[in-house]
Amino acid sequence: MKSWVDIGFEIEITGDASPSLRLLQSVDASKDRGESMHHSGGACAETLMIYGEPIAQVVRKISNPHFLIVGLGLGYIELVIAREALLAGKEPEDIGLITSYESVPELREFFYQWLHDQDQSLHPEVRATYDRVLEHVIRETELSPGKLKFFLKKHFKNLSDIQTSLNADVILPSKYHCILYDAFSSKTSPHLWEEEFLNYILKTGTFERCVVSTYACKGTLKRALKQQNFEVILREGFQGKRNSTLGLRNL
């Protein structure tokens, strides 16, 4: 069984006591460790702030919505989609599609195995991390862990339902009403933040009614959103972080 260290990550417990992961190796030679998946102030709190309300808005306003997540990571966003749908009284079949991209094979495998309770395949440290993520996502709700896992199992029935790398020549399987862009920064994942690529995703992968949310506030992203007729809204960043970005079109 592989642990986090075996696949190049270490656990970080963030300011709200929820777990995140950090790359052990950095693309920047001047730094001894790599990029973290979340703000040190709170992995779950940041996810809820940046992605929770856009998800809830789409669930409320759009019938049979399609969600695209760029960066599965520890599955926070997927779990928040299930949380917001259940809080709105929705069933798994009321959500049309959840498409998640993740370049690290083990992160896809670990999340799928945990979701389907394949505990014999998971290192105890890995299983405990996902359990803790879920515990934080449902905190202050009356939802049970089993309900969220059941909801997502209906959307990720097979491991192949979690997509691999979002390459420059990707052909998306659908159009989407909500894009939740949670990729590593442009230093770690450069092509995901290039203006041409962002324009391609926004042009080919969105319905007329669409919302895009991300923790980032990059010029390439804002320009691409404007070119694809999105209203660009600069939101407060998490705990003093640079502004986050919200793109709205006909919503």
Tell me the CATH number at 209: 3.40.50.150
- C-alpha triplet 9, 13, 18: angle, nearest 5°: 110
**What's residue 188's pLDDT?**
73
Residue with tokens 């029935």: 157
Does any domain span residue 108?
yes
Does any domain span residue 34?
no
Does any domain span residue 164?
yes
Cα–chain center distance at 16: 18
| Residue pLDDT tens, the chain, 251 long | 999 999 999 999 999 999 999 999 866 656 667 889 998 899 999 999 999 999 999 999 999 999 999 999 999 999 999 999 999 999 999 999 999 999 999 999 999 999 999 989 999 999 999 999 999 999 999 999 999 999 999 999 999 999 999 998 899 999 999 999 998 777 777 889 999 999 999 999 999 999 999 999 999 999 999 999 999 999 887 777 778 999 999 98
**Using CA atoms, how far apart are residues 63 and 52, in angstroms rounded to an integer?**
18
**What's residue 185's pLDDT?**
78
Please enumerate, as own/partner, the contacts of 225-230 that have beta carbons within 8 Å and a separation of 24 or more. 225/198, 227/199, 227/202, 228/199, 228/202, 228/203, 230/202
Give residues with Cβ within 8 angstroms of 244, minimum separation 6: 50, 213, 214, 215, 216, 217, 234, 235, 236, 237, 238
Q: Are 180 and 77 in contact (CB under 8 A)?
A: yes
**What's residue 240's pLDDT?**
72
Does any domain span residue 100?
yes
**What's residue 29's pLDDT?**
57
Per-position DSSP letters for the chain, written without gaps between them? ---TGGGTEEEEE-TTS-EEEEESS-SSTT-SS--BSS-TT-HHHHHIIIIIHHHHHHHHH-SS-EEEEE--TTSHHHHHHHHHHHHTT--GGGS-EEEEE-S-HHHHHHHHHHHTT-GGGS-HHHHHHHHHHHHHHTTTS---HHHHHHHHHTT--SGGGEE----TT---SS-EEEEEE-PPPTTTSGGGG-HHHHHHHHHHSEEEEEEEEES---HHHHHHHHHTTPEEEEEPPGGGPSPEEEEEE--
**What's residue 28's pLDDT?**
60
- Structural domain containing residue 119: 42-249
Domain count, the chain: 1
Does any domain span residue 7?
no
Does any domain span residue 106?
yes
- Distances in whole angstroms, Cα of residue 175 to Cα of each of 67, 68, 99: 9, 9, 10
Does any domain span residue 12?
no
Does any domain span residue 21?
no
- C-alpha triplet 117, 119, 121: angle, nearest 5°: 120
